[in-house]
Amino acid sequence: MNNFKTRHTMNRIKQLSLFAFLLLINAGCQDILNQPPDDAITSDEFFNTGNDLRVYTNDLYEVLPTKSVYMQDAESDNILGVSASARVEGTRIVPTNSGSGGWSWGHLRKINYFLENYRRVDDGFAKAKYSEIARFFRAYFYYDKVKQFGDVPWYSEVIDASDEALLKKARDPRALVMDSVLADINYAVENIPAEKKLNQITKYTALILKARICLFEGTFRKYHELGDHERFLEEAASAARELIDSGAYTLYTNGGPDQAYLDLFARNNQDMTETILAVDYEFGKRTHDLAYRMTAPTQGRWGLSKVLVNSYLMADGTPFTAQPGYETMEFYQEMQNRDPRLTQTTAGPEFSTYGSEDREPVDLDITRTGYRVIKALPAKGPEWGSGGSFNDVILFRYAEALLIYAEAKAELGTLSQGDLDITINKLRDRVDMPHLIMADANANPDPYQESLYENLESGANTGVLLEIRRERRVELVNEGLRWDDLMRWKEGNIVEDPINGIYFSGLGGHDFNNDGMDDVYLHDGDASGAPSEVTALININERPLTNGTSGNLQLFPGGTFEEPKDYYYPIPKEDLTLNENLEQNPGW
């Protein structure tokens, strides 16, 4: 049975009264909303069969995100929506209510209760499989908490309501928590069956999660100078390499270089070629609103940042920013002869919607920057309506393992050309791009990319690390990983840079597809001179240009980022009051 479809079957299983104070963590985390109802059943009534364990762990999938993974890049320097997010602006505040702002522990309560009670079942196979899956979810839960808060209290057991010491314990050191996370995910990797299940946790899901966790922790420790980073980078490389060597997955290539990358995300139903874990959506049963957010003028208005667009290579493998006059290229010119992923991520000059051959009119009302996001945009029609989309959302895919392996090896100083050939160059093969040559990259680091990452020190692998970061940004854009990348690389200062959009040489008409007719008309309040064929109007009083009547769309002047404060989230005020042993994160 599909776990994502059945995750709500646990509605009939109310958490037990014994469960009521299971994890009133820190500060009490004593929010009544996280307590179980009075009619909860007892463990004796439920933990009896292998099927009980399966049903219980189905509910643990609530730990994972769903459609939000395709929205989170709008809270980074990759994509700008209707407005910049609070964390990009630097305007986050300390939340008040207990359990708010991410400091919530309800999911952990469910996980630990399961791990204390599953042994009641006689089915050995079910006990092994589902206890491992519960450990997977605990690893994911704590990884997410450490990313946000750093030190957090580690709980591996049900807490008795009278245990004041545990209820009001201080935060445990990051090192202890992450060692415990590593133990959990290692247990999951070693014991979950090596099956391919599109919507269920398997050994392969555990491997890619382990690789992601260890890359984050290893690079965070390295760039934030916390120590012991090599161990985590080695674990990241090892997990990614095990997944690669398993041969279970490969890259999705249907449709060829000009279609495969787009098709991977826009199709309604995922398969297990490249996709390791996906959230299942189905017409009439479970839908989402991502297409509506991508196409309605009043919704997301998402657009790629100019800096991101500049990062896509030319088709011959050279940097776009090495082209003479790249700063003042207009839309049609800058889109020519580029990495094919560019126009499979943003609407290019010949853009037609997924599944159609008809060129779509230029519409800049649905994108702030002018670089309209089309990655994961399904076919035009009812799916574009509010709540009408049912294309599956990818949570983990094989391409990430390739990127993790290359980056971990490069950060360790053990990367070889052979490593690049089985990772980065496989990604480039999919879109028919030239291979990354390690010696060439290190001999000639790209100065534009170098200017983006102030904390990347010069060294033997600087050039290739910059290219791996470029490849990661381009390949994984709009998949919710960019903010975490900036945090682990200690590059939060990037959010202080402006987010700009398309370049315009001046007021008047602009031909976006080189067909001899204007598509966009810029004006300063009077659009009466716009040609009849124009499909997009821009008033520079509402969307100003960097140089007055010419330049890039000037949309966000840049936020503020305070170190070390903004690398972490604040703990709610009520939690600090309820638990005097908690300490607030620095600067908050």
**Does the residue 357 lie in any domain?**
no
User: For position 163, what pLDDT does the model report?
Assistant: 80
**Does the residue 287 lie in any domain?**
no
Same domain, 476 and 571: no
314 in Cβ contact with 403 (< 8 Å): no
Distance CA 305, CA 498 (A): 9
Same domain, 53 and 201: no
170: CATH: 1.25.40.890
Same domain, 59 and 153: yes
Tens digit of pLDDT for each residue in 292-303? 999 999 999 999
* Boundary-marking domain end, from 458, 488, 518: 488
Distance CA 443, CA 109 (A): 52
Token output for 528: 């009466």
**Does the residue 113 lie in any domain?**
yes
Start-to-end CA distance of the chain, whole Å, equals 45
**Regions of the chain with pLDDT less than 70:** 1-43
Same domain, 27 and 133: yes
User: For position 222, what pLDDT does the model report?
Assistant: 98
**Does the residue 289 lie in any domain?**
no
**SS3 call for 322:** helix
pTM listed for this prediction:
0.93
User: For position 13, what pLDDT does the model report?
Assistant: 34
* Boundary-marking domain end, from 488, 516, 545: 488
**Does the residue 465 lie in any domain?**
yes
Same domain, 30 and 145: yes
Same domain, 121 and 201: no
User: For position 183, what pLDDT does the model report?
Assistant: 98
Same domain, 110 and 240: no
User: For position 5, what pLDDT does the model report?
Assistant: 43
Same domain, 40 and 186: yes
**Does the residue 418 lie in any domain?**
yes
Domain count, the chain: 3
523 in Cβ contact with 507 (< 8 Å): yes
Same domain, 449 and 534: no
Q: What are residue 376's DSSP bridge partners?
A: none
Task: Tell me which residue range forms the domain holding 214.
Answer: 196-280+394-488
User: For position 42, what pLDDT does the model report?
Assistant: 63
Q: Where are the alpha helices (DSSP H) in 192-289?
A: 203-223, 229-246, 260-266
**Does the residue 330 lie in any domain?**
no
